[in-house]
Structure 1
Amino acid sequence: MAAEITYAEVKFRNASLSAEVKAPPKKKDCDHHTQKYPPWLPWLISLLLLLVCITLIITLFVSHFSHNQEELKTLPQNATEWLCVSVMPPSKGRGWMCCPMGWRFFQKSCYYTSTDSMTWNDSKKNCTGMGSHLVVIDTEDEQVFLSAWLKEEIRYMRKDNYYIGLSAQNVGQWHWVDKTPFNVTAVFWRIGEPSNVEEEKCVVIHWKEKKHWNWNDLRCDIRSPRICEAAAITV
């Protein structure tokens, strides 16, 4: 007997093999808000900058004035009156050079002739104490000016010699008190001078010469008047 075969009908539904993929939600764009400044802010900043500039100018002016006042106190310290000369053309503003009353002004320097007499070393110390130094002569114009001035002074002083800032540590080796190089082309010795001997190592101006060739070396312990020099004060 043959075996019975049973057939069964099986139906399959089609299934989608691709999975549905959901895209992530888009991010919302950030809102860009422009920051607005008050309209008066630029004016305030400009005003502050202007005030800063004015403050700096005032500070510099006060500092400069105070510095000049300190200089005025040191040339000399006991001076209460000053003689000032205008050195700037009116078109370029104001500029003054000042010397203590009783001093002479010439080419940006102040000069003083003493009424008392001292040795050369004491004369050097005395000028230094007044904020100056024994005169240093390095041009013919300066020598001519001093010679003419001394000829005026002798009507009152009756002094023959005035110490200047020239001396020698070794015979014939002359040097100035302020370290200015000694220029052999700008010297004004009297005829026959300097003696260049061991005993005579300090220099004076001898006013009695007719011309301005009037330097003379002599002993440093001789007591004579002196000429002091200092830079004029600019204000």
Structure 2
Amino acid sequence: MVQEGELQGRGKAMWGSQVRLWFVAVACIALLSACFIISCVVTYHFTYGKTSNRLSELHTYSSLTCFSEGTSMTEKVWGCCPGTWKSFGSSCYLISTELNFWKKSEQNCVGMGAHLVVINTETEQNFIVQQLNKNFSYFLGLSDPQGNNNWQWIDQTSYTENVRFWHENEPNFSAEECATIVFWNHRGWGWNDVFCDSKRHSICEMKKIYL
């Protein structure tokens, strides 16, 4: 016969084994929960972090104008620009009416979370010129800092691989190290090299905010 003490010992052993099993189960659940939470935080950071940063950069604007740009897997995608900016493609554009030097114009754009415009396609240029006044010229984000015909876009876009819309026989003077877009009778809109310390209007460009 099994002695009472032996039964008690077996009961305690079984109870201890169950406790250990419960402890392991609880620990696994806690670990899985922690992994899930960390995964959510990381996903949120990468998915929404950039948008939040962009929105905080643009906190000075009183309003945003948003347009539906198709749908993602689960919801609509909205592309937004500050209320006074023009929307085209993945960018927003502001036509500045202030007259400034090239460097000051770029600083003003940067202060708004943008840069002087970089023109990548003929379609983009055609859109931009529709917003411009034919009586003025406008600084582009294109310059030749050394005056050796090594033109550079402000956002590091490759000039050699990018489109170019210079007026005929332009650029033509090494001391004119900044580019503008200007309308010339019988030629239409095109690019021209000018002195960087001449005062011109300008065009700022920023990436859209996607919500």
> Aligned letter for 2:91?
S
Runs of 5+ consecutive residues of structure 2 not aligned to the other structure: 1-5
Counterpart in the other structure of 1:19: none
1:174 partnered with 2:157? no
Identity of aligned residues (%): 31
Counterpart in the other structure of 1:120: 102
Which is worse superposed, 62-71 or 221-230?
62-71
TM-score (norm 1): 0.68
Counterpart in the other structure of 1:94: 76
Q: Distance in 1 between matches of 2:29 and 2:84?
A: 50
TM-score (norm 2): 0.75
Contact in 2 for aligned 1:205/1:215 (Cα 8 Å) = yes
Shift of 1:84: 1.4
Q: Distance in 2 between matches of 1:190 and 1:61?
A: 48
- Structure showing greater radius of gyration is 1
Counterpart mapping for 1:87-166 below 5 A: 87-89=69-71, 92-150=74-132, 154=133, 159-166=135-142
> Aligned letter for 1:139?
T
Summarize the Cα distance change of 1:213–1:184 in structure 2 as closer, same or farther, 3 Å threshold. Answer: farther
> Aligned letter for 2:152?
H
Counterpart mapping for 1:21-60 below 5 A: 31=10, 33-35=13-15, 37=18, 55=37, 59=41
Picking from 190, 193, 203, the partner of 1:217 is 193
Say which structure is richer in strand. 2
Runs of 5+ consecutive residues of structure 1 not aligned to the other structure: 1-27
Shift of 1:94: 2.4
Picking from 73, 94, 118, the partner of 2:56 is 73
Q: Secondary structure at the match of 1:143?
A: helix
Q: Distance in 1 between matches of 2:184 and 2:67?
A: 30
Q: Distance in 2 between matches of 1:202 and 1:143?
A: 18
Aligned positions, number = 196
Which is worse superposed, 137-146 or 87-96?
87-96
Q: Distance in 2 between matches of 1:71 and 1:105?
A: 16
Shift of 1:148: 2.1
Shift of 1:78: 1.7
Shift of 1:161: 0.4
Q: Secondary structure at the match of 2:70?
A: coil
Contact in 2 for aligned 1:144/1:212 (Cα 8 Å) = no
Summarize the Cα distance change of 1:222–1:90 in structure 2 as closer, same or farther, 3 Å threshold. Answer: same
Contact in 1 for aligned 2:149/2:174 (Cα 8 Å) = no
